A and B are shown apart, each in its own frame.
Chain A
């Protein structure tokens, strides 16, 4: 399912996970539900490369960079090698990511048990800052969407005082706005409305894929790219807001920089496929580490898995590994199996994925819309939620048109309650003094990193202005 979602342009893993949340209600075990949703997430990373290589259209955002060299390889009759290298690189990188998750998450969770409200406030602030900084071309717009996400998370009953806030007097809003409604609206309906503007018909470059296994020469050219991409992607995936998209972009840039023949990039260099595809898979796996060890989701798709855990009564936090070891170790074990299955299934089934691409978007679009509508309705049998989703669909459409990224909004929406509660608890502990954030070592260290990020942004911006570039490019 994840691969199919990755193959089909227009529906990303975050929206798909949101759409499938109602199905997980029927699954009694939270572990099974999370395994299914996680499989969709990293499966989509595998699938996204297929459309990038064959259509020059990324199946999902993390495969944008793969278009550059992947499509060129397809034009040169080497689609099979590109698809094969993407799959094998993804498998290796996914394995690195899982090993990292297995060995890093438990000690990180133990360390995070020392966290109090000031540390959580500082951590969520850093997470939001990184999400904004890494989101897109305009930091101002990223900040605006982050603030909007935080503001929307405040709607409903105040968790401390128990009074309704920002509800416009509507009873239906006293329970707050549902994350599913927001995601389906922004990423589902909003995306469809945006895509309806385009009348371009997509054509598959070739429907006959030959020689799906890379040659020895391909291996020689790309082995270090796979390794570097895997480790780079792993560390970037740990960062909130980092994730697969940034990982693939950075990995491509690094490979081009390190290459002895950088001119080959953009003209069908296999490293240009191997590196970003390895990076995005590794990042997709490592992005589970903040969720399962700290209880902090780092991107919208992980935020949906966060929501799924909550729905099933499992609170993501540093104590998840000790209180629900079956969930953590079950997810790790399933990832090993899923990773191997993706490699075994994807290469032989590439012909089927190609056929899937032939389904016209004209037919897919209303089906996706209906899934969003019925999916949201099914959550609480509420027409009000459906209307709210349509409003967010319109907001999502205009956000796309105006260049506002939805990712920071979703992350801020999810992290908002943690952020607010942590700040209020911290100020209560310190009797109103903000010094508490700077006198506790972990909190101070996290805020120092945040300050470095801000200083780094402005210093890069000043240098670029002197060179004649825009600061946010």
Chain B
């Protein structure tokens, strides 16, 4: 866990440096006329100090009481499902423009329920159709929000 906390500290430090650099590019302005980079500069400095604090507080090896293993960031393969879920979401967004929102939604629900939750085909198909139909009715019909139509104009 400490390793991950330190890594987040390094990432925040990088963002802090970006903030400071960009702010100086934008100009801080004279004190009587603060420029567009004014607040960003001080935020960058503050973030830099805090990230150093975070790294410092998480220095050294993991501490654990005797007989207990330190808590890991992911227990076993707990990272799998979030990663696959994220993959499904990314894929949905990527193909929504190509094949249209409705077919993409059906595929998304089928994939999620079958691959991640191991539900049966009947339940997965039922949920996919009902959920997609509801989204279509609410967003496309009732709210009149144009959902992307793909190459098949669906």
Contacts and interface: CB of A to CB of B under 8 A. Distances in A.
A397 B47 CA distance: 21
Q: How large is the interface on B (under 10, 10 to 19, 20 to 34, 35 or more residues)?
A: 35 or more
Interface in A96-146: 140-141, 143-144
B82 A390 contact: no
Interface in A372-421: 373-374, 377-378, 381, 383, 386-387, 390, 393-394, 397-398, 401-402, 404, 419-420
Contacts of A264: none
A193 B85 contact: yes
Interface stretch (A150-158, A248-256, A299-307): A150-158
A366 B93 contact: no
A374 B145 CA distance: 10
B36 A163 contact: yes
A196 interface: yes
A161 to B, nearest CB: 5
A170 interface: no
Interface in A159-195: 160-161, 163, 165-166, 189, 192-194
Contacts of B142: 26
Given A373-B93, A393-B86, A401 B40 contact: no
B78 A378 contact: no
Contacts of B117: 360, 362-363
A123 B91 CA distance: 44
B145 A378 contact: yes
Nearest to B79: A197
Contacts of B105: 370
A424 B54 contact: no
B47 A369 contact: no
A424 B43 CA distance: 14
B26 A165 contact: yes
Given A196-B81, A363-B127, A370-B131, A402 B5 contact: yes
Nearest to B74: A197
Given A151-B43, A432-B32, A196 B22 contact: no
B31 A166 contact: no
B113 A383 contact: no
A101 B40 CA distance: 36
Contacts of A369: 85, 89, 112
B135 interface: yes
B36 A366 contact: no
A52 to B, nearest CB: 25
A431 to B, nearest CB: 4
Interface in A412-454: 419-420, 423-424, 427-428, 430-433
B4 A401 contact: yes
B133 interface: no
Secondary structure dominating the interface of A: helix
B135 A370 contact: yes
Contacts of B127: 363
B73 interface: yes
B90 interface: yes
Contacts of B26: 158, 163, 165
Looking at chain A, what size class is its interface with the partner chain? 35 or more
Nearest to B124: A363
A299 to B, nearest CB: 22
Contacts of B116: 196, 362
B147 to A, nearest CB: 7
Contacts of A402: 4-5, 8
B47 A151 contact: yes
Contacts of A356: none
Interface in A348-369: 360, 362-363, 365-367, 369
Contacts of B50: 140, 143-144, 147
Given A23-B143, A363-B127, A165 B113 contact: no
B90 A154 contact: no
B93 A383 contact: yes
A22 interface: yes
B33 interface: yes
Given A154-B43, A166-B22, A197-B82, 13 more contacts: A22-B145, A144-B54, A158-B36, A163-B26, A192-B85, A197-B75, A365-B112, A366-B109, A366-B112, A378-B145, A383-B96, A383-B97, A424-B38
8 contacts: A143-B50, A148-B47, A151-B43, A163-B26, A363-B117, A373-B93, A383-B93, A423-B38
Interface of A: 22-23, 25-26, 140-141, 143-144, 147-148, 150-151, 154, 158, 160-161, 163, 165-166, 189, 192-194, 196-197, 360, 362-363, 365-367, 369-371, 373-374, 377-378, 381, 383, 386-387, 390, 393-394, 397-398, 401-402, 404, 419-420, 423-424, 427-428, 430-433
CB-based closest 9 A-B pairs: A432-B31, A432-B32, A362-B117, A158-B36, A366-B112, A378-B145, A196-B81, A431-B32, A197-B78
Interface of B: 4-5, 8, 12, 15, 19, 22, 26, 30-40, 43-44, 46-47, 50-51, 53-54, 57, 73-75, 78-79, 81-82, 85-86, 89-90, 92-93, 96-97, 101, 105, 108-109, 112-113, 116-117, 119, 127, 131, 135, 139, 142-148
